[in-house]
Amino acid sequence: MIIFLEANWGQFFGRFHALVVHLPIGFIILAVIFECLAWKKKIDLKLAISYALLIGALFGVIAVVLGLMLASDGGYNIDTLNLHKWTGISTTIVAFLLFFLSKKKETILWAKKTYPVMMALVVILLSIAGHYGGNLTHGSNYLFEHAPASIRAMAGIKPVRERITILDSALVYEDVIHVIFEKKCNVCHNNDKAKGGLLLVDSESILKGGENGKVVIAGNASKSELYRRITLDPNHKEFMPTEGRTPLTNEETLLIKWWINEGLAFDKKIVELNLTDRIKGYLQEVGIGLKRTFIGSLNLPEVDENILDSIKAEGFKIKPIVNKSTLLEVKYSAYNKTPLNQDKMDILLSAKENIIWADFSRLPMHENFISTIGQLENLTELRVNNSEITDKGVKQLTQLTHLEYLNVYGNPISDVSVESLQKLSKLKKLYLWKTNISEEGILKIKDSLPQINIITGE
Ligand code: HEC
């Protein structure tokens, strides 16, 4: 009994509406196509047409019933819903009529006369029902959303405002927040489908809130329902977006938090708000402000061939990261016959600015070796997994401020290293699998480096 009460049967069956509704469409269109063929090629398809119409009409009934269940869920624009509902029901009725007429039109004159009219009518009804169904699922405008400006104008849709992506002139709501809502939330919170009674389409609707009242409180993200919903555990039933839709990225979430805390500006420019370097970084992630990669900004002279040769002579593999680049990657294979020693390490310093990727995985890394690595000032990627590195070793890496990728998995490092890792402010990817760093330590790192992706093997 409780199961029956708890389950939302309307919603459960309703979801099948979107699936089943394609069957009547398919069969009715098939009947229309057969009718055209029969007429053009003068072939006899009467039986096939009758069957297609009957099957189409029967599936139509199922689609209507499921549709009514889905609608009972609420949250849809009532006008759009009514148009969709009644054209959908009419389509089904006309399909039944057509089935009977197709049987009688040989013998009864009025049946023969009304048949083509009804055929045309069913096509029109089907198109209207389908169109509004699309609006209910995807929001009005969905058909012309990506249309060129001229076609949008013809369809009577207001021209899209060109998004400004230059930091100095972009607007915080129009160019940042609205773009995020449109991308991640508004399939369900738009003018045709306001789930939870909430629309996130403009300042008015956002400030108005949903069926449970206000969802944002100016200056206080942590008291704002909207912020709570996007920061819940993704498995929580109140987490937004629901239904497994793509969640917000860390940067998007933090930008929304910033926007609420800065007082919910709708007309202000980004630069009128309190703008830290960190926020600038998040803005770059969503396409505002030029993203100049560190590597792209390096303008280094080529390394002398003789220097490269001498490095290779020591057993290193060293080569440009891409053809003809002045940026180099270096590796010392764990299978190399002669073990790594300090003299070998030192020779790397002759190309120290140009080395941006280094791989010393599976080699016992003496503390002094690491101090040499610490001098490769432009390093962005470093692999030192299974290299017997200790907390002291990790400390030597803190000068590598451009490091974006660090693999230290399989090393005996502990929470002592957390502080050192927190200093690597550019880190995006960190492999900590098989280390002694605790969950607490990992949380600390995540807290100070929100952009980071930590791989722990779990
Ligand atoms: C797949 C559909 C869907 C998407 C996408 C979606 N929501 Fe929702 N949202 C719902 C439904 C359904 C409800 C009502 C049920 C509930 O309150 O959990 C709701 C309710 C809400 C509420 C509570 C409104 C109130 O007054 O109770 C907020 C706030 C909200 N959504 C914010 C968001 C935000 C922000 C996003 C984008 C990150 C988003 N939603 C994306 C379906 C969706």
pLDDT at residue 134, as a whole number: 84
Query: Do the bridges between strand 355-359 and strand 405-407 make them parallel or antiparallel, or are there none, so unpaired?
Result: unpaired
Continuous segment of H or E residues that includes residue 206:
helix 203-208
Sequential DSSP letters for 48-81? HHHHHHHHHHHHHHHHHHHHHHHHTT--B-HHHH
In angstroms, the Cα distances linking 36 to 30, 42, 121, 188, 415 are 10, 9, 15, 40, 75
Does residue 14 have its Cβ closer than 6 Å to ligand 1? Answer: no
Confidence label for 277 from pLDDT (cuts 50, 70 and 90):
confident
Chain segment 355-396, per-residue pLDDT in tens: 999 999 999 988 889 999 999 999 999 999 999 999 999 999
Chain segment 192-202, per-residue pLDDT in tens: 888 899 999 99
Chain segment 159-190, per-residue pLDDT in tens: 667 888 888 888 999 999 999 999 899 888 98
How far, in Å, is the centroid of ligand 1 from the Cα of 420?
40
* Separation CA 330–CA 283 (nearest Å): 33
pLDDT at residue 136, as a whole number: 81
pLDDT at residue 2, as a whole number: 46
Residues above pLDDT 70, as percent of the chain: 93
Evaluate whether 176 touches 288 at the Cβ level (below 8 Å): yes
What is the distance in angstroms between the CA of the first residue and the CA of the last residue of the chain? 39
Q: Whose CA is nearest to atom 13 of ligand 1?
A: 196
Query: Do the bridges between strand 328-331 and strand 381-383 make them parallel or antiparallel, or are there none, so unpaired?
Result: unpaired
User: What are the DSSP E strand ranges found in 157-281?
Assistant: none
Which sign, positive or negative, has the C-alpha torsion 231, 234, 235, 237? positive
Structure tokens at 365: 């890394």
Does residue 189 have its Cβ closer than 6 Å to ligand 1? Answer: yes
Does residue 226 have its Cβ closer than 6 Å to ligand 1? Answer: yes
Residues above pLDDT 90, as percent of the chain: 63
Chain segment 86-123, per-residue pLDDT in tens: 999 999 999 999 999 999 988 999 999 999 999 999 99
Local structure of 453: helix, strand or coil? strand
Q: Which atom of ligand 1 lies closest to the CA of 198?
A: 24
* Separation CA 189–CA 196 (nearest Å): 8
* Separation CA 354–CA 329 (nearest Å): 8
Confidence label for 1 from pLDDT (cuts 50, 70 and 90):
very low
For 323-337, what is the mean pLDDT? 88
For 111-142, give the secondary structure using H, E and C: HHHHHHHHHHHHHHHHHHHHHHHHHHHHCCCC
Q: Which atom of ligand 1 lies closest to the CA of 226?
A: 29
Does residue 248 have its Cβ closer than 6 Å to ligand 1? Answer: yes
Evaluate whether 221 touches 260 at the Cβ level (below 8 Å): yes
